[in-house]
Structure formats: structure tokens, C-alpha cells
């Protein structure tokens, strides 16, 4: 059978060894005689799993002790609400840097809860989109926080520098880049990420928040979005998504066994380079993002003759290369190559692209 490679932007493919392990212990986890999803989240077995998962994540990202890790519901969009509901005090303003579709959506939600100042940071240079260096963002020194999205999943734009925001807490939507490379967490006030790309299945959201930012929630903040309630209750104020938490724990172990984030960064770089190099060398395909802001996780590309798009997608699927259709806002194609995508998957894509180009080009 042809090897299947799934390029979906999320929910995305998970590492095969993780899925195989989950399968093997599906009906009897840890000799309990039950599936992990059937156990009480407050029982000692699950509590141990939960704290081991947090310890592994802390180790992988080298999270300082003055940060809490919260395991939440609600996805990235849940955090679009939770961030202002917890960090934007009455009468305060927050700065939101817009670099693409997801940071724009974050603004629309935050505007319901307070004053938001928008900083548009993408410019077009020679037909390519590029992000203004952060020293040109002109951040308001009195802002309650600065929000940005280091990797725009839809647009394929990544910001590799960590913006310098002085005393203003930096908040990052890392849904599609977390765990793809090492990170200096101490530069951030808060980081959040929906799980369904590099962490596990959908249904779980990770929040990493500096202690001093907890406890500033608005009076009307719903309890399940309240960082203080979540933190005080070990992320178990309400029933957490236990099976997603379990799968995340297996993904963290898989990452550690592979050698951690330095190793993953190298692999991700090799994968992205393999695809970008081919796109750049071709007269048939192109990408519209400037080299220094090209995402290493989500790679949009276009056929110069877009009347061939449907044929490209049908043939790609027949060759075991799934979910390459670009987001409807951007069009064309998009290859999402998160941690679980092996280099062989990207090589298979490039070789298919070459064949397709030869056949119809």
C-alpha cells in the first residue's frame, strides 16, 4: 500500500509511535483494566499522568518556575477571549500586532472586551510579504500587553525573532509553532496553543503564564476561562479533556526520546528547506512570502496556472499525499509539515510535484 502523508493544517497527523502506543493500551491503560479515558481525572493514576505530562513539557521548553502551565479547553479561539478577559484591566489598552488571518481574528474577539490598538506589521516588498522588524512596531509603553502570532497558519508567515517589548507583557498565539524549536519562555508573559498541531488531538489548549499575570481577571470572566481558578485547581476545576491530555503526554515523551527540541528544530529546518528549495527552483510553482518570514510549519504554494489546481489535488491524493488544498482565504496549496511529518513525507511531496510539473508543464 502507498504510504499516506497527511498535510492537514489541524487537526494534524500525530507521530506514528504515539498512535501505536495509544492503540496498544487503549482498553487497558497502566494495568487499570480500563481505558485512560474512563478514569476519574481526580484519581491517583490520572493525576500522576497529568503531573508527568506537565513535567515533560516543562523540561522540553525549559519553562522557568515562575510560570504556570494550564491545561484548558476551548482551543486557540477560547484564548482569543481568555487573554483580554484575564489581562486587560478596566480602562486599559492592549496592542495587537496583525500579520495575517489568525492575529486578525484575535483582534475581532478582543475588541469585545476592551480597547485594542491594532499594529499592522506586514508589508509587501517586491511582490513578497514580509513582517516589519519588531523595533518598528511602535508599541505603546502603557499597553496592558502586546499580542502577536509568531506563526500564521493560514498565510504561512513566521516571525523568528522574539519581539522586545520592555516591561509590557508579550502574549503569543503559538498554536502552530509551539514545540517546533527551542524557545526562551522567559521573554513572554503568556503563551497559548491549541493542541491539534504539535501537541496532540484537538480539545486541549496549553497556556503558559507568568505568575504575576494571574489574578487580574475581570469580574465577569467565566470561571472556565479564568486563569486563577484554573491554576488554583491544577487545571481540574471542571473535567479536563483527559484523553487529549494523555495523548499529549505521549507526544511529549516521544519528543524527549527523539532528543528534544534542538533535534526537532533541525529536522523541521531540513523539511522546510527541502520544499522551499524545490519551489524556488521551479518555474511551475511559487510562494509569496519573503525568505526571512517563511513558515517552517505551514508552506503555502501556488501553481502558476491555477486551472490545474483540481487535477493537482486529485493526483496528489491518489499518490497518498492528503489535505494539500490551501486555505480558502489564500487559495492554491498548503503543506503543513508539523513535528510528526517525517522528512520522507516532504520528499514524497517534492517528488510528486516534480512529476506533475513534468507531466503537464
Longest alpha-carbon distance in the chain: 63
Yes or no: say if 193 and 181 are a contact pair by the CB < 8 Å rule.
no
Please identify, among the stretches 21-29, 168-176, 212-220, 342-350, the one whose residues bind ligand PMP according to the rule CB under 6 A. Answer: 168-176
Question: Is 173 known to sit in a ligand binding site?
Answer: yes
- Which of positions 65-94 make contact with ligand PMP (CB under 6 A)? 75-77
User: Which of residues 39 and 289 has its CB atom nearest to ligand PMP in the complex?
Assistant: 289
294: DSSP letter: B
Q: CA 25 to CA 146: how far, in whole Å?
A: 43
Among the listed residues 175, 180, 198, 249, the single contact to ligand PMP using CB under 6 A: 175
Question: Is 120 known to sit in a ligand binding site?
Answer: no
Q: CA 341 to CA 338: how far, in whole Å?
A: 6
Q: CA 350 to CA 276: how far, in whole Å?
A: 10
Q: CA 79 to CA 195: how far, in whole Å?
A: 12
Among the listed residues 5, 46, 102, 312, the single contact to ligand PMP using CB under 6 A: 102
User: Which of residues 29 and 163 has its CB atom nearest to ligand PMP in the complex?
Assistant: 163
Q: Closest approach of Cβ 245 to ligand PMP, in Å? A: 15
C-alpha Rg value of the chain to the nearest Å: 21
Yes or no: say if 293 and 129 are a contact pair by the CB < 8 Å rule.
yes
162: DSSP letter: P
Q: Closest approach of Cβ 339 to ligand PMP, in Å? A: 15
Q: For residue 205, what are the β-bridge partners?
A: 72, 194
Q: CA 54 to CA 230: how far, in whole Å?
A: 14
- Which of positions 125-164 make contact with ligand PMP (CB under 6 A)? 149, 153
User: Which of residues 119 and 149 has its CB atom nearest to ligand PMP in the complex?
Assistant: 149
Question: Is 269 known to sit in a ligand binding site?
Answer: no
135: DSSP letter: G
Count of alpha carbons within 13 angstroms of residue 188, beta-carbon side? 25
Among the listed residues 99, 176, 249, 295, the single contact to ligand PMP using CB under 6 A: 176
Among the listed residues 84, 163, 194, 332, the single contact to ligand PMP using CB under 6 A: 194
Number of residues forming the site for ligand PMP (CB under 6 A): 11
Please identify, among the stretches 20-28, 58-66, 172-180, 220-228, the one whose residues bind ligand PMP according to the rule CB under 6 A. Answer: 172-180
Q: If binding is defined by CB under 6 A, does position 10 make contact with ligand PMP?
A: yes
Task: Write the Ramachandran bin of 47: left for phi over 0, alpha for psi from -120 to 50, otherwise beta.
Answer: alpha
Residues designated catalytic: 102, 173, 197
Interacting residues toward ligand PMP by CB under 6 A: 10, 75-77, 102, 149, 153, 173, 175-176, 194
Residues making up the binding site = 42, 76-77, 102, 153, 173, 196, 238-239
Residues making up the binding site for L-glutamate = 42
Amino acid at each position: 500500500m502507498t504510504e499516506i502523508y497527511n498535510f492537514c493544517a489541524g487537526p494534524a497527523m500525530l507521530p506514528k509511535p504515539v498512535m501505536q502506543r495509544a492503540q496498544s493500551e487503549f482498553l487497558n491503560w497502566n494495568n487499570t483494566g480500563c481505558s485512560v479515558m474512563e478514569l476519574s481525572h481526580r484519581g491517583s493514576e490520572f493525576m500522576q499522568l497529568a503531573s508527568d505530562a506537565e513535567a515533560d513539557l516543562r523540561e522540553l521548553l525549559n519553562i522557568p518556575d515562575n510560570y504556570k502551565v494550564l491545561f484548558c479547553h476551548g482551543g486557540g479561539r477560547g484564548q482569543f477571549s481568555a487573554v483580554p478577559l484575564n489581562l486587560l484591566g478596566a480602562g486599559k489598552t492592549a496592542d495587537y500586532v496583525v500579520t495575517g488571518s489568525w492575529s486578525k481574528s484575535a483582534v475581532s474577539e478582543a475588541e469585545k472586551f476592551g480597547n485594542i490598538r491594532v499594529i499592522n506589521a506586514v508589508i509587501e516588498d517586491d511582490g513578497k510579504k514580509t513582517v516589519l522588524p519588531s523595533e518598528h512596531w511602535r508599541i505603546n509603553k502603557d499597553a496592558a500587553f502586546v499580542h502577536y502570532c509568531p506563526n500564521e497558519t493560514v498565510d504561512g508567515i513566521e516571525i523568528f525573532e522574539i519581539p522586545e517589548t520592555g516591561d509590557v507583557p508579550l502574549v503569543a498565539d503559538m498554536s502552530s509553532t509551539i514545540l517546533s524549536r527551542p524557545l526562551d519562555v522567559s521573554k513572554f508573559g503568556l503563551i497559548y496553543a491549541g493542541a491539534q498541531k504539535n501537541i496532540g488531538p484537538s480539545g486541549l489548549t496549553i497556556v503558559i503564564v507568568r505568575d504575576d499575570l494571574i489574578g487580574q481577571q475581570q469580574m465577569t470572566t467565566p470561571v472556565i476561562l479564568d486563569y486563577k481558578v484554573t491554576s488554583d485547581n491544577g487545571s481540574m476545576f471542571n473535567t479536563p479533556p483527559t484523553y487529549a491530555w494523555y495523548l499529549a503526554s505521549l507526544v511529549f515523551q516521544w519528543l524527549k526520546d527523539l532528543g528534544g527540541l534542538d533535534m526537532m528544530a533541525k529536522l523541521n529546518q531540513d523539511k522546510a528547506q527541502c520544499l522551499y528549495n524545490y519551489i524556488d527552483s521551479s518555474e511551475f510553482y511559487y510562494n509569496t512570502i519573503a525568505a526571512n518570514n517563511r513558515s517552517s510549519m505551514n508552506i503555502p504554494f501556488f501553481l502558476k496556472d491555477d486551472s490545474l489546481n483540481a487535477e493537482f489535488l486529485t493526483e496528489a491524493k491518489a499518490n497518498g499525499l492528503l489535505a494539500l488544498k490551501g486555505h480558502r482565504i489564500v487559495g492554491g496549496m498548503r503543506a503543513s509539515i508539523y513535528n510528526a511529518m517525517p522528512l520522507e513525507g516532504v520528499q514524497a511531496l517534492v517528488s510528486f510535484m516534480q512529476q506533475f510539473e513534468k507531466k503537464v508543464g
